[in-house]
């Protein structure tokens, strides 16, 4: 049995939802890594995808809609030894949490960021998400979506996110390989995971993804940012795989003064009373 | 030649445009005067601009402790001749030092053009050191302490610049010595021993140092005046302490980071102002639900919306009290003195950790920007152990306990898993919609209200214990009301200062109920604390003294308004 499995739980997703294969693959990926289970922390916001920590046997912080990234960043800053995964849906991470998405990339915390992108809102029942294709009709966008869809890959590239990948929920082997690379990557790692919503998205179906995606082959050089941009903004089929890798970029905790001499987490640090006394006394001068 | 004589205390106001260096004058003057044996108080008011405008700093120098703003100006040093904005505070006894040709008629002016005096030095930038030299000479202080101070503070500058500053100090000293000799300014009090070891800190520094004493090691904030002054204080110390300072992309991120940091074992705070805090409301509610400690400092300024960005008000009590959807416990501290600010900031971390709730520290622009000399803070204050539990495999984050507080584990410390959930959850932290679990969890979160209230800080009673009329106030008005009380010297008039405004300890009500007449004093328009006392405790005020023009009360205007209620002179 996978130690990350939770037996006997009631899962709130619809039958056939792409989230199931993502859940299973994430758990299998974690089980295959040499990480103590008590050092793994899941952080999520709100939405159907954001329920995923509920179904994984690990620590989690299931916070507010859109706010997984600031929480995940602070957890990593406070205890760099933890393996931190922020996970949620496209509305959660790119809509409500859009500003955090931008600035988290700029900070470059060593966290993995998995976004279940089904191009529609599920929990609130079928409204457009930031990634919904133009033209799709919803209960709110009754004449079809007109807003330009959010392109997470291009935005992440613009901010030089050091690991950017796109995966597809139904291709388990490739998904597992990409998730594994993302968790092991030192720095912020985005995996935009395409998956169908069988209830609310009648356009981007299993069949649609099959016909409209392709895998990058070995000729793709992920260190080439300009080529990666070309892939990110190209029309037509969506590229799958690791699109961009920028190795060796200092991470947020590398840059924190507090970890220059020791990597001890903050909970092991005591207030320096002697130093505080000196600072207080210096205010007499 | 006009002149002034003061017996025990002098109120000096420096006015100038932003960028003219009056802050430098203020810092040097207060430090040297304090170290020479004078009690000092300083506060500033400034316009919301980086250059130009009209700003002023008040420095009170006294033979006794002084810790409050006063309207009175004895000596006005006008580095900028436009003093019309201060005219309401300039009395017949006020002596104005400045350019008589530009200031205009109707003032007692000692014609002095500092920029002209600086001409031999080649630049008007030395005007402010000339002013410092002159002002120090009024107290019989020569150029040596000033030269030492300049060397210490500006030592990195070139010898030429240091030398010009020393020359400026001498020019100023000559001028001030002349004023002293001719009786233009007569200071009738002498320095005393024992102040050299006292510290001079602002409200912002007191909050920041108190937070460090409370074990703060993580601060995430988005800049907003005046709350960011505490962010600056902590940032300046972040290479000396295990302290992470993160400038967030917005206030929403700031508070969510703070809660994430607590979850991982840090002791976190955010510092902001009312407008920034408005964005943090969801985070306060999150802390309530996940039972996370959180420390929130709000430096209040007048609202609504952008309001008066650089002015003061006590208008955000309601906001702090009611921010966040749903029912959950919180505590709100409101320091009235620098000592309060230090000890309450430290205590905020302990209370937050002990009760697993959001705790507020409410200050305001006046409080944060004011400073005076006090005995050094005790660095051992707030020395409590974090309330953390090493988890085992059976750990449940929300285990039901008699007092409602579950031992707080953090991920990675022990073998257990720590599950925090913003949805209603069971003992393990998993989503539930069970009405039975919901009832138990609501009870659990509310059970801490009792002990939180019983252990709340009672109001400080200032004045006669046999009072009949009681003034009620909170936060930054403490020292102003106290000075007013001393000025009025009524045997039956006292002041109850609330350092904790939520929840109130049961004893607070006894103090209020003993009074025959209650007068509310608040630096806001609606009397928010008064409304809270009425709503929660049925306390009715006979009179309300409110002010919301962006400025603090003064002992002068407060005395007048109190006398309108209690009558002039003598009696009760």
CATH number of residue B301's parent domain = 3.40.50.970
Answer yes or no: is B42 within a domain.
yes
Q: Which chain A residue shows the shortest CA-CA distance from B289? A: A63
Rounded to the nearest integer, the mean pLDDT of chain B is 95
For residues B285, B286, B288 and B291, what is the CA-based torsion angle, rounded to 10 degrees? -170
The reply to whether residue B239 touches residue A82, judged by beta carbons under 8 angstroms, is no
Alpha-carbon distance of B22 to B53, in angstroms, equals 13
Cα of A40 to nearest chain B Cα, Å: 8
Instruction: For residue B124, give the 3-state DSSP assignment.
Output: helix
Chain B partners within 8 Å of A76 (Cβ): 264
Would you say residue B93 lies in a domain?
Answer: yes
For residues B14 and B83, what is the distance between their CA atoms, to the nearest angstrom?
A: 10
Q: Which regions of B3-67 does DSSP assign to beta strands (E)?
A: 4-6, 9-18, 39-45, 52-62
Which of A63, A69, A77 is closest, CB to CB, to B286? A63
pLDDT at A96: 97
Most A CBs within 10 A among B236, B257, B288, hence the mutation to make, goes to B257
Q: Are residues B37 and B177 in the same domain?
A: yes
Nearest residue, CB atoms, B197 vs list A100, A256, A284: A284
Cβ neighbours of B211 in A, within 8 Å: none
Per-residue confidence (pLDDT) for residue A8, from 0 to 100 = 87
B411 and B353 share one domain: no
Note whether B181 and B207 are same-domain residues: no
Q: Would you say residue B381 lies in a domain?
A: no
Contacts of A43 in chain B (CB under 8 A): 260
Residue in chain A nearest B385 by alpha carbon? A270
Query: pLDDT > 70: what percent of chain A?
Result: 100
Among A46, A71, A78, whose Cβ lies nearest the Cβ of B266?
A78
Residue B268 Cα, gap to closest chain A Cα (Å): 10
Residues B464 and B423 in one domain: no
Chain A residue numbers touching B212 (CB-CB < 8 A):
271, 276, 279
Phi then psi for residue B29, to 5 deg, are -60, -50
Q: Can you give the pLDDT at residue B572?
A: 43
Return the residue in A44, A52, A75, A111 with the most chain B beta carbons within 10 A, the one to mutate for interface testing.
A75
Is B383 inside any structural domain?
no
For residue B510, give how far its alpha carbon lies from the nearest alpha carbon of chain A (Å).
Answer: 37
> Does the pLDDT of residue A172 top 90, yes or no?
yes
CB A64 to CB B212 under 8 A?
Answer: no
Q: For the packed helices B281-290 and B251-263, what is the interaxial angle rounded to 10 degrees? A: 20
Chain A residue with CA closest to B244: the answer is A258
Distance CA B519, CA B529 (A): 12
Please give the share of chain B, as a percent, with pLDDT higher than 70: 99
B378 to chain A: closest CA residue: A277
pLDDT level of residue B386 (50, 70, 90 thresholds): confident
Q: How far is B202 from chain A (nearest CA, A)?
A: 10
Residue of chain B whose Cα is closest to the Cα of A267:
B265
Whether the pLDDT of residue B571 is over 50: the answer is no
Residues in A touching B423 (Cβ below 8 Å): 62
B489 with B423, same domain? no
Provide the pLDDT confidence category of residue B154 given band limits of 50, 70 and 90: confident
Residues 407-436 of B with CB under 8 A from A: 410-423, 429-431
Contact A265 B239 (CB under 8 A): no
Supply the ipTM of this predicted assembly. Answer: 0.98
Q: Are residues B15 and B75 in the same domain?
A: yes
Which residue, of B351, B374, B397, is where some domain finishes?
A: B374
pLDDT of residue B570: 55
Q: What does the block give as tokens for B285?
A: 């509610």
Looking at the structure of chain B, the number of domains it has is: 4
Same domain, B36 and B141: yes
Closest residue of chain A to B418, computed from CA coordinates: A59
Cβ A276–B250 below 8 Å, yes or no? no
- B281 and B305 share one domain: yes
Using the Cβ of B286 and the Cβ atoms of chain A, whether some distance falls under 8 Å is answered with yes
Going along chain A from its start, the domains and CATH numbers come out as 19-282 (3.40.50.970)
List, for residues B475-508, the tens digit of each pLDDT value. Answer: 999 999 999 999 999 999 999 999 999 999 999 9
Q: Does B217 touch chain A if contact means CB atoms closer than 8 Å?
A: yes
A257 contacts in B (CB within 8 Å)?
Answer: 238-239
Give the angle B336-B60-B180 at the CA atoms, nearest 5°.
Answer: 170
For B375-478, strand residue ranges (E) read: 419-421, 460-462, 469-474
Task: Pick A72's closest partner by Cβ from B260, B419, B421.
Answer: B260
So what's the pLDDT on residue B152? 87
| A10 to chain B, closest Cα gap in Å | 10
SS (H, E, C) chain A: CCCCCCCCCCCCCCCCCCHHHHHHHHHHHHHCCCCCHHHEEEEECCCCHHHHHHHCCCEEEECCCCCHHHHHHHHHHHCCCCEEEEEEEHHHHHHHCHHHHHHHHHHCCCCEEEEEECCCCCCCCCCCCCCCCCCCCCCCCCCCCCCCCCCHHHHHHHCCCCEEEEEECCCHHHHHHHHHHHHHCCCCEEEEEECCCCCCCCCCCHHHHHHHEEECCCCCCCCCHHHHHHHHHCCCCEEEEEEEECCCCCCHHHHCHHHCCCCCCHHHCCCCHHHHHHHHHHCCC
Measured between beta carbons, the chain B residues lying within 8 angstroms of A86 are none
Mean pLDDT of B413-418: 98
Interface test with A, best of B214, B246, B260, B392 (most A CBs within 10 A): B260
Chain A hits for B152, Cβ within 8 Å = 285
Cβ–Cβ gap B218/A284 under 8 Å:
no
Cis, peptide link before residue B226, omega less than 30° from 0? yes
Whether B396 is in a domain gets the answer yes
Note the pLDDT tens digit of each residue in B228-269: 999 999 999 999 999 999 999 999 999 999 999 999 999 999
What gap in Å lies between CA B461 and CA B171, rounded to an integer?
A: 49
pLDDT tens, B208-221? 999 999 999 999 99
Please tell me which of the candidates A75, A265, A276 has its beta carbon nearest to residue B263.
Answer: A75
Which residues in chain B (364-403) have CB-CB distances under 8 A to chain A?
376-377, 379-380, 382-383, 386, 388, 391
Whole-number pLDDT of residue B51: 72
Q: Which domain holds residue B450?
A: 388-455
Do residue B494 and residue B405 come from a single domain?
no
DSSP state of B49: -
Which position has the token pair 């169908």?
A: A196
Inter-chain touch B417–A38, beta carbons under 8 Å: yes
Among B residues 196-215, those touching chain A with beta carbons less than 8 Å apart: 196-201, 205, 209, 212-215
Mean local confidence (pLDDT), A136-153? 96
Interchain CB distance below 8 Å, A258 and B199:
no
The mean per-residue pLDDT over the stretch B199-208 comes to 98
User: What's the pLDDT score for residue B427?
Assistant: 98
B244–chain A Cβ distance below 8 A for any pair: yes
- Cβ(B421)–Cβ(B427) under 8 Å? no
Mean pLDDT within B53-57: 87
Q: State yes or no: pLDDT of B63 exceeds 90.
A: yes
User: H/E/C letters for each residue in B476-492?
Assistant: HHHHHHHHHHHHHCCCC
Domain boundary among B344, B374, B404: B374
Interchain proximity B283–A271, CB inside 8 Å: no
- Asked if residue B171 and residue B71 are part of one domain, the reply reads yes
Query: Coil, strand, or helix at residue B149?
Result: helix
Mean pLDDT of the A202-209 span: 93
Same domain, B243 and B295: yes
Tell me the CA distances in angstroms from A101 to A86, A194, B203, B329, B509, one per residue in order: 11, 18, 35, 31, 49
Predicted model pTM:
0.97
B445 close contact with A: CB closer than 8 A: no
Determine whether the interchain pair A284/B196 forms a contact, defined as Cβ–Cβ distance below 8 Å: yes
Does residue B157 sit in the same domain as residue B205? no
Tens-place pLDDT, residues A2-57: 999 998 888 999 999 999 999 999 999 999 999 999 999 999 999 999 999 999 99
Q: Do B253 and A275 touch (CB under 8 A)?
A: no
The string of pLDDT tens digits covering residues B303-353 is 999 999 999 999 999 999 999 999 999 999 999 999 999 999 999 999 999
Top residue of B222, B256, B346 to mutate, by most chain A CBs within 10 Å, is B256
For residue B250, is it within any domain? Answer: yes
CA distance B295 to chain A (A): 15
What is the residue-averaged pLDDT of chain A? 96
Residue ending a domain, choose from B421, B455, B489 = B455
B64-117 pLDDT tens trace: 999 999 999 999 999 989 998 898 999 999 999 999 999 988 899 999 999 999
Residue B49 pLDDT > 80, yes or no?
no
Residue B220 touches partner A, C-beta closer than 8 Å: yes
**Does the beta-carbon distance from B218 to A77 stay under 8 Å?**
yes
Domain assignment of residue B193, yes or no = no
* CATH at residue B472: 3.40.50.920
Q: Where are the alpha helices (DSSP H) in B139-200?
A: 143-154, 159-182
pLDDT over 90 for what percent of chain A? 95
Nearest residue, CB atoms, A273 vs list B220, B250, B379: B379
Residue B37 lies in a domain: yes
What is the distance between the alpha carbons of residues B566 and B564, in angstroms, rounded to a whole number?
6
Q: Measured between CA atoms, how close is A68 to chain B, in angstroms? A: 8
Q: Tell me whether B341 touches chain A (CB under 8 Å).
A: no
- From chain A, the residues in CB contact with B153 under 8 A are none
Q: What percent of chain B has pLDDT over 90?
A: 90
Q: What is the mean pLDDT of residues B202-211?
A: 98
């Amino acid at each position: 049995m996978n130690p990350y499995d939770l037996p006997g739980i009631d899962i709130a997703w619809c039958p056939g939802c792409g989230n199931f294969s993502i859940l299973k693959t994430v758990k299998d990926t974690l089980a295959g890594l040499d990480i103590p289970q008590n050092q793994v922390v899941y952080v999520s916001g709100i939405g159907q995808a954001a329920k995923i920590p509920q179904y994984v046997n690990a620590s989690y912080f299931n916070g507010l809609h859109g706010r997984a990234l600031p929480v995940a960043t602070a957890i990593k800053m406070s205890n760099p030894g933890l393996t931190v995964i922020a996970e949620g849906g496209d509305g959660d991470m790119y809509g409500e949490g859009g500003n955090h998405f931008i600035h988290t990339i700029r900070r470059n915390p060593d966290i993995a960021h998995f976004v279940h992108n089904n191009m529609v809102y599920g929990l609130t029942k079928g409204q457009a998400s930031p990634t919904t294709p133009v033209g799709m009709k919803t209960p709110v966008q009754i004449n079809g979506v007109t807003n330009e869809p959010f392109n997470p890959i291009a935005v992440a590239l613009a901010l030089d996110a050091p690991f950017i990948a796109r995966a597809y929920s139904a291709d388990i082997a490739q998904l597992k390989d990409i998730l594994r690379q993302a968790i092991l990557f030192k720095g912020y790692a985005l995996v935009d995971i395409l998956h169908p919503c069988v209830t609310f998205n009648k356009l981007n179906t299993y069949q649609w993804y099959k016909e409209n995606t392709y895998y990058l082959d070995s000729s793709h050089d992920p260190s080439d940012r300009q080529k990666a941009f070309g892939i990110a903004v190209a029309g037509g089929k969506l590229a799958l795989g690791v699109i961009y890798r920028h190795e060796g970029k200092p991470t947020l905790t590398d840059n924190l003064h507090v970890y220059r001499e020791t990597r001890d987490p903050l909970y092991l640090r005591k207030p320096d009373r002697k130093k505080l006394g000196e600072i207080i006394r210096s205010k007499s001068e | 030649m006009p002149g002034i004589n003061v017996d025990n205390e002098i109120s000096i106001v420096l006015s100038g445009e932003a960028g003219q260096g009056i802050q430098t004058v203020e810092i040097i003057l207060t430090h040297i005067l304090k170290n020479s044996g004078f009690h000092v108080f300083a506060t500033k008011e400034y316009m919301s601009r980086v250059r130009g405008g009209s700003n002023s700093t008040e420095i009170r120098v006294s033979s006794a402790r002084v810790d409050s703003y006063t309207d009175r100006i004895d000596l006005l040093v006008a580095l900028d001749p436009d003093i019309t904005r201060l005219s309401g505070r300039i009395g017949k006894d006020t002596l104005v030092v400045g350019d008589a040709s530009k200031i205009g008629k109707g003032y007692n002016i000692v014609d002095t053009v500092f920029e002209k005096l600086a001409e031999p030095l080649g630049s008007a930038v030395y005007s402010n050191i000339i002013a410092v030299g002159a002002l120090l000479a009024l107290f019989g202080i020569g150029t040596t302490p000033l030269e030492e101070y300049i060397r210490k503070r500006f030592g990195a500058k070139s010898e030429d610049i240091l030398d010009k500053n020393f020359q400026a100090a001498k020019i100023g000293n000559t001028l001030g010595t002349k004023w002293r000799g001719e009786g233009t300014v007569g200071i009738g009090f002498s320095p005393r021993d024992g102040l050299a070891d006292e510290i001079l800190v602002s409200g912002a520094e007191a909050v920041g140092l108190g937070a460090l004493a409370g074990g703060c090691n993580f601060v995430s904030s988005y800049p907003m005046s005046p709350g960011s002054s505490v962010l600056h204080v902590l940032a300046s110390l972040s290479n000396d302490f295990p302290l992470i300072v993160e400038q967030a992309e917005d206030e929403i991120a700031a508070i969510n980071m703070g809660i994430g940091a607590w979850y991982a074992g840090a002791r976190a705070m955010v510092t902001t102002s009312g407008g920034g805090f408005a964005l943090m409301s969801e985070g306060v509610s999150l802390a309530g639900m996940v039972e996370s400690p959180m420390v929130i400092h709000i430096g209040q300024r007048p609202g609504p919306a952008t309001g008066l960005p650089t002015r003061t008000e006590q208008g955000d009590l309601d906001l702090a009290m009611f921010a966040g959807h749903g029912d959950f416990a919180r505590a709100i501290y409101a320091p009235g003195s620098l000592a309060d600010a230090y000890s309450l900031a430290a205590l905020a971390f302990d209370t937050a950790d002990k009760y697993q709730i959001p705790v507020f520290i409410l200050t305001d622009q006046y409080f944060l920007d004011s400073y005076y000399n006090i005995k050094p803070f005790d660095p051992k204050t707030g020395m409590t152990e974090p309330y953390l539990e090493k988890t085992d495999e059976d750990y449940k984050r929300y285990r039901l306990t008699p007092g409602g507080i579950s031992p707080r584990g953090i991920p990675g410390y022990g073998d257990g898993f720590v599950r925090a959930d913003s949805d209603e959850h069971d003992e393990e932290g998993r989503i539930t919609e069970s009405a039975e679990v919901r009832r138990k969890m609501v009870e659990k979160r509310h059970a801490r209200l009792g002990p939180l209230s019983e252990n709340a800080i009672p109001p400080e009673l200032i004045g006669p214990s046999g009072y009949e009329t009681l003034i009620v106030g909170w936060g930054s008005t403490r020292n102003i009301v106290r000075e007013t009380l001393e000025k009025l010297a009524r045997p039956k008039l006292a002041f109850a200062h609330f350092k904790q405004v939520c929840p109130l300890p049961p004893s607070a009500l006894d103090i209020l109920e003993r009074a025959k007449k209650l007068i509310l004093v608040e630096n806001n328009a609606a009397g928010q604390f008064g409304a809270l006392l009425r709503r929660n405790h049925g306390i009715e005020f006979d009179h309300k003294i409110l002010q919301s023009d962006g400025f603090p009360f003064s002992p002068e205007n407060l005395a007048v308004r109190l006398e309108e209620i209690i009558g002039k002179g003598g009696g009760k």
